[in-house]
Amino acid sequence: MDNDRPTKTTGPEMIKFNTKWRQAALAVFAITLLLVLPNLSRMIG
* pLDDT score at 14: 73
> Cα–Cα distance between 35 and 45 in angstroms, integer?
16
Which residue segment(s) compose the domain that 13 sits in? 4-44
* pLDDT score at 31: 97
* pLDDT score at 34: 94
* pLDDT score at 9: 62
Provide the domain count of the chain.
1
* pLDDT score at 12: 73
> Cα–Cα distance between 26 and 34 in angstroms, integer?
12
Segment 4-45, tens digit of pLDDT: 555 566 667 777 878 899 999 999 999 999 999 988 888 887
